[in-house]
Structure formats: structure tokens, C-alpha cells
Amino acid sequence: MRRASITPATRLALEATEFAKEQGAYEPFHRITYRAYWEDSKNLGDLQVLLTLGEQAGLNIAKLESALKDRQYEARVMEQYEEAQSLGINGVPAFVVGRYLFTGAQPYEMFQKVAKMALAEQAQA
């Protein structure tokens, strides 16, 4: 993982992900977009970038482009965003370990610490 040179507005990428889910291609699209952002610093807010990534994931590009231009998945993505906000999630990625919620890129030591606390609480229950 390398910190990308830009922080894109990713709503369009989230909408493309919803399209990929409906096409049964969530996993390949997710992996390709993750790699494109974290390894190649691609702008996931750019329509052409998303279309190229969608093509690599085996998606029908004409249908993807139409869905994104028509904002077919905008309402669904906004519902998910509002649900996350209502649960206290205000960053990505978000992690839940036991009763602990934390967001953002975290060092490995943070995961170890939270996992130990959650396991200790579970053992006491």
C-alpha cells in the first residue's frame, strides 16, 4: 500500500461497485480498483478510469457508463452513507472488532491492541 497522491471523490466509484455487484463481479472489480488506487495512484473519481477498471474486471462497459452517467446507483450509495453515519462510521476503511469501531488506515499494532482487548473481554464474558 502506498499513499495515493490524490484523495478522489469516490462516490462514482461506489456507484460502479454497486453495478459490479449486480453483475456478479464485485470481487474482481473491488480488487482491481483497490490496486489501482493504492498501488498505481489512479483517480477513482474519474469516469474514464472507472470504465477502464470495469473493463479489466469483465464488466459491460457500455452498460456501466450508462449506469454511471444516469446516476442509477446514487440513491443506494447515499442510503449506505447515511446508514454508516448513523452508526458512527465517518471514515474508510472502517473496522469492527468485538465492541470496538475504528476507522482509517491504521498500523498493525492498532489491530493487535484492539484484538487483544476484544479477546480479553470475550474471555471474561
Report residue 116 as a C-alpha cell.
487483544
Could you tell me if residue 4 is inside a domain?
A: no
Tell me 120's DSSP state: H
C-alpha cell read off for 82: 447515511
Identify each DSSP E strand in 47-123 by its residue range: 94-97, 100-103
Question: Are 18 and 76 in the same domain?
Answer: yes
Nearest to 13 by CA among 66, 68, 60: 68
pLDDT digits (tens, 9 = 90+) for 37-72: 988 989 999 999 999 999 999 999 999 999 999 999
Residue 24, helix vs strand vs coil: coil
Regarding whether 26 and 64 lie in a shared domain, the answer is yes
Helices (H) and strands (E) counted in the chain, each on its own, are: 6, 2
Express each pLDDT in 9-34 by its tens digit: 789 999 999 999 999 999 999 999 99
- Indicate if 71 and 26 belong to the same structural domain: yes
* Bridge partners for 97 per DSSP: 100
94 beta partners: 103
- Examine the pLDDT at 3 and tell me if it is beyond 70: no
Q: How many domains does the chain have?
A: 2
Through-space distance between the first and last CA atoms of the chain, rounded to whole angstroms: 37
The domain of 112 spans 89-124
Which residues are CB-neighbours of 4 under 8 A, at least 6 positions away? 37, 38, 41
Whether the model pTM is above 0.85: no
**Looking at the structure, do residues 97 and 36 belong to the same domain, yes or no?**
no
Q: What is the reported pLDDT for 42?
A: 92
The pLDDT of residue 91 is 83
Same domain, 16 and 66: yes
The pLDDT tens digits of the residues spanning 96-109 come to: 999 999 888 889 99
Q: 27 lies in a domain?
A: yes
Same structural domain, 46 and 99: no
- For residue 3, being part of any structural domain is answered with no
The predicted pLDDT at position 56 comes to: 97
3-state secondary structure of 7: coil
Q: 71-81 pLDDT, tens per residue?
A: 999 999 999 99
